Structure 1
Amino acid sequence: METTAHSPLPVPLHPGLPILGNTLAFLRNPLSTLHTLQRQHDRLVHLRIGGRNQYLVLRPEDVKHVMQENHRNYGRSPAFEILKVFLGNGLLTSDGDFWRRQRRLAQPAFHRQRLAALTTTMIAETASWIAELKQHNTKQPVNISQAFMDITMRIVCKTLFGSDTTGKLDGLSSALDTLNYLANKKMLSPIRFPYSWPTPDNVRSKRARMQVDSFIYGVIDQRRQRDEDKDDLLGMLLSAEDEDTGEKMSDQQLRDECVTIFSAGHETTAVSMAWTIYLLSQHPDVLARLQTESRTVLGDATTPAPEAFRSLTYTLQVVQESLRLYPPAWIMSRRAHNPDHIGPYTIPAGDTALISPYLLHRDPANWPDPDRFDPDRFAPGGPKEQLHSYAYLPFGGGPRLCIGNQFALMEMQILLAMLVRSFEFTPVVNQRIIPNPLITLRPNQAVRINLL
């Protein structure tokens, strides 16, 4: 990437309102605002949002510079302080040397060979879920958004905690939903009261967090007392040792990583699956091709062998294209520790670089007819392979690439293949689904589908 030692040019400032800058435009319609910025600017654009200077990075090669080549110059932005209240100091919210240590400790739990052992659990839980869906009254549409929330919760609990969650999921799911809702609300609010103030939302948040903590600390304590080696994610995290010091994770660190895995492995996967099913309901030709592959490859076994899913190439393409159109992490932010030079421009120290996978994934310069759903973009040897590696970022990039990306992709393939193998489905008439950009890119309402 071209850089200069000094930057004589200011980053172009996008017009905004006095004092408020571009804040209202982002609050009212962030996705439309992003598209406007993409049309009107070429490389970087200076915005004033929430009283802060923020710089939207538009080119994949410059995104790579921020996220990979010069990543040590960038830390978590102030927005992550809100998430810290809910998630703690886990991989998603931590920074610097502490983050690097935690990443080293957690990485082995997500190696491909370790994940292979969890695939059997995913398949078994999905088979039970499919059996339950078959009991549904076919005359009534299925709330597939909620159905995916339920199954992803079951999968993440079973793969994270093994059998230690039996009969305890309802309260945990409700508490996590409350924390997620309140985090979204606080993130979007222009007025943020300190967490220590006893506002109704803060009281609800503390109560939900206590419920989550009681459950997770209880499982950790139980596991330590039994001194068992279990082949689930918690077992792997408990046994992880720092290669330099021999230290293991404290209970607090384990709690924070468990909550982070919960949030990433539950809500984001469920939202992505809801988008995928919605897209398939609008494209029956893609659905038919997907069903042919799943029924041919998986056969009629209730719990197909894990190896079979590796042959579902078109299923993976569908998942990848759905993540292109609706990436859960639709925007990311990084704060510059020191001034950074990108071409003729400078991002000043203390200011924020904004990166939008949603915008990168719909850039017509890289993706012809970008709003069209076309899984063949990801076919072997297809158009995606000709693009810059940072034109497609559903899981981020650089050292902070989502640690659970392979877990999520495998889970989505299993859920999708086993669902379309078992059912025909059609869209609900007059259901208008549009993106709702909260912390994650959710549908504006529950996706409902007719399962036949």
Structure 2
Amino acid sequence: METPVTPAANHPIPVHPGLPLLGNSLDFVRDPLGALRMYRRLYDQDDGRHIVRLSVGGRIQQLVFRPEDAKQVLQENHRNYGRSPAFQVLKLFLGEGLLTSDGDFWLRQRRLSQPAFHRRKLAILAETMIQEGYYWVEQLSAVAGSQPVNISQSLMDTTMRIVCKTLFGADAGQRLNQDLSYSLEMVNYLANKLLIIPVRFPLWVPTPDNLKFKKATRLVNQLIYGFINARRQTGARHDDLLDMLLYAEDADTGERMSDLQLRDECVTLFMAGHETTAVSMGWTLYLLSQHPEVLQKLHEEVDQVLGGNQPLTVDDLRALPYTGQVVQESMRLYPPAWIMSRLALQDDRIQGYTIPANTSVLVSPYLLHRDPVQWPDPDRFDPDRFAPGCDKERHPFAYIPFGAGPRLCIGNQFALMEMQILLALFARRFTISAPPVSPPGLQPLITLRPKQPIRLVIICR
């Protein structure tokens, strides 16, 4: 007769063996996603144990695997979990924006920023997205044909124009494009490096990485403060996010954001609204290149709703559900935020195990989105997973591309709307003749990027 498994409360959290000083950091340097899959294979057990303790970047981290545990950390007991030390690296660049701030300050900033993302406000911003979407497909039409197009770069340029106009009401001129692109690229690489290595030099030490980081921050500050100062001086009103943030008032005190607070929120929104959207759209088009049957179904929906030359409007988006499902399924397989970390402020219990105060809990959307219990045949690209009613048996925290709980990304509807618009306009005009010769590979930095630019052969329909 088999002895029943005892509750986890009597056992320490399993520890994955690592190297002296380095701990498990090398796993994340060599192949972060492969390491996550290995940890799940070894420690996500049917006997009720779904957790492992790691040492990454000199910090103790508990990795959980199940949506119910993610829910406890991100929602049910969220007050016990603050931004982990990993966010201190991003805070060097983003300051006290919504992504990195905590406590009462975060709550105040969230309340001040929330009205800017009201559905009525988003409908105004959508007009800019549509205009830039048309400009994008016209540019692609000029290079469509038998030669592969660098879709990754094309989308980076397009989302740069969209975020510049929706955030600042400005065109992405050459200097603006180059400086911001350089800065965001540099921060992505350097922040990821700082998160993994156990020994870090203070920012005042003039290492090559620190000097690059300071240059990137200086360029962004000059640009952002330039926009803020111009608005302060002229007092002119605009239908953009900066205007909405500039005039947002605290309901209790009537206070508005300082220039520093505006800077931090603008940089955060810019970083989230530019790169993550471009990367997610790139993965979406890559997946469509591999699945002509999905692309055909997408063409049929877009043709039925938009016809030949009918202009796309915001109201049309509700009549394009499959287009939205394609975006959602792409973000399931390639979530831009592939891992997130929270610091336990006090001891907590997960599955009966003690999570010690001042240690971190890792939640990986990449793993949650590929959990075979929640997603049968999880590596298969199938937008019908998101058809109406298909989520009835699925745990709500099995799909969290924008995070979850009170700290759900404030711009999630903005990003989904932008991607749906760009995808609909692309599908109406183009088809993809063949998949790439070789997969672009995965590069998990702060966001889940392709290792090589995605190049596709696109043909005008």
Fold agreement, TM-score > 0.5:
yes
Return the offset for 1:430. 2.3
Matched, 1:73 2:75: no
Q: 1:118 aligns with which of 125, 141, 153?
A: 125
- d(CA) in 1 for partners of 2:32 and 2:376? 23
Note the residue ranges of structure 2 that are not aligned, 5 or more in a row.
Answer: 1-7
Number of aligned residue pairs: 446
Give the aligned residue type for 1:405: N
- 1:7 Cα deviation from its structure 2 partner: 4.5
- The SS at the match of 1:106 is helix
Q: Indicate the residue corresponding to 1:154 in structure 2.
A: 161
1:199 lines up with 2:207 in the alignment: yes
AA paired with 1:289?
K
Contact in 1 for aligned 2:90/2:100 (Cα 8 Å) = yes
Residue-by-residue CA offset, 1:56-78 (whole Å, 9 max, x unaligned): 11111111111001101011111
Deviation at 1:129, TM superposition (A): 1.3
Q: Work out whether residues 21 and 198 of structure 2, in 8 Å CA contact, stay in contact via their aligned partners in 1.
A: no
Which one-letter code corresponds to 1:176 in the other structure?
L
1:60-209 correspondence to structure 2 within 5 Å: 60-136=67-143, 138-163=145-170, 168-209=176-217
| 1:21 paired residue among 16, 20, 23 | 23
TM-score normalised by L of structure 2: 0.93
CA distance in 1, matches of 2:308, 2:177: 30
How far apart in 1 are the matches of 2:275 and 2:429? 24
**Identity value in percent:** 61
Give the conservation status (yes or no) of the 8 Å contact 1:324–1:394: yes
Using a 3 Å threshold, how does the CA distance of structure 1 residues 364 and 428 change in structure 2: closer, same or farther?
closer
Counterpart check, 1:420 vs 2:427: yes
C-alpha displacement at 1:300, in angstroms?
2.9
1:228 CA drift (Å):
2.0
Contact 1:123 1:303 survives alignment (8 Å):
no
Say which of 333, 345, 349 aligns to 1:337.
Answer: 345
Match of 1:214 among 203, 215, 222: 222
Matched letter for residue 425 of structure 1: I
Q: What's the CA shift for 1:301?
A: 3.3
**AA paired with 2:206?**
P
* Alignment match, 1:35: 37
Shift of 1:409: 0.4
- Residues 61, 305 of structure 1: CA spacing in aligned structure 2 closer, same or farther, 3 A cutoff? same
Q: Identify if the C-alpha distance between structure 1 residues 31 and 177 changes in structure 2 by more than 3 Å, giving closer, same or farther.
A: closer
Local SS of the residue matching 1:380: coil
Higher mean C-alpha displacement, 299-308 vs 223-232 = 299-308
Structure 1 residues 202-224: Cα deviation after superposition (integer angstroms, max 9, x where no partner)? 22222222121111111111111
CA shift for structure 1 position 190: 4.3
TM-score by length of 1: 0.95
Match of 1:226 in 2: 234
| Cα gap change, 1:203 to 1:17, in 2 (>3 Å) | closer
- Consecutive unaligned residues of structure 1, counting only runs of 5 or more, are 1-5
TM-superposed deviation, 1:145: 0.5
Q: Which residue of 1 aligns with 2:294?
A: 286
* Contact preservation (8 Å) 1:127, 1:302: no
- Provide the rounded CA distance (Å) in 1 between the counterparts of 2:76 and 2:196: 31
Contact kept? 1:124, 1:303, Cα under 8 Å: no
Residue matched to 1:3: none
> 1:350 deviation in Å?
0.3
Residues of 2 paired with 1:238 and 1:356: CA distance?
34
User: Which residue of 1 is the match for residue 14 of structure 2?
Assistant: 12
Q: Larger deviation: 209-218 or 370-379?
A: 209-218
Asked whether the equivalents of residues 83 and 343 of structure 2 are also in contact (C-alpha less than 8 Å), the reply is yes
**CA distance, structure 1, for counterparts of residue 128 and residue 417 of structure 2:** 12
